Amino acid sequence: MPRCLSMALATVALAVPVMASAQIARALPTHSLRGEATFGQPPEVTLNGKAMRLAPGARIRDTNNMLVLSGTLAGQKLKVNYTLDPYGLLFNVWVLRSDEIARVWPTTAEEAAKWTFDPITSTWTKS
């Protein structure tokens, strides 16, 4: 019996790192938009070819949903979802994984107004 218990504990101990590294689906806000961001020297960002700035207190989440500093992304061009603050500055940015990039997502407020969002499947449908 002790041998079976120790084998079971060893199996669980080995499985924990595997489960921790699994990517969990993120619930991106429906009001976020899709874009391509090139990060410059903070707070400068080019979003969809247009010069932008990060808002004070902007939050950038990497593919593991961990907060990252904008300086660590300097020089990188990444597919992102984003929200703007009331002044038009980038406020929330999510760096997308390949599975998230594959999902259809609106790139403009006009598209979001015309498309339909299904909260159960977290997918957008062009109307």
Which pTM was predicted? 0.80
Beta strands per DSSP E along 43-114:
44-47, 50-61, 67-68, 77-84, 90-95
> Could you tell me the residue range of the domain that residue 94 belongs to?
33-99
Query: What integer pLDDT is reported at residue 2 of this predicted model?
Result: 61
Both tokens assigned to 80: 């992102």
Query: What integer pLDDT is reported at residue 40 of this predicted model?
Result: 96
CA atoms of 6 and 3, how far apart (whole Å): 5
Look at residue 52 and tell me if it is in a domain.
yes
Domain count, the chain: 1
Query: What integer pLDDT is reported at residue 18 of this predicted model?
Result: 47
pLDDT of the chain, 127 residues: tens digit per residue: 666 556 666 666 665 554 455 567 788 999 999 999 999 999 999 999 999 999 999 999 999 999 999 999 999 999 999 999 999 999 999 999 999 999 999 999 999 999 999 998 889 998 7
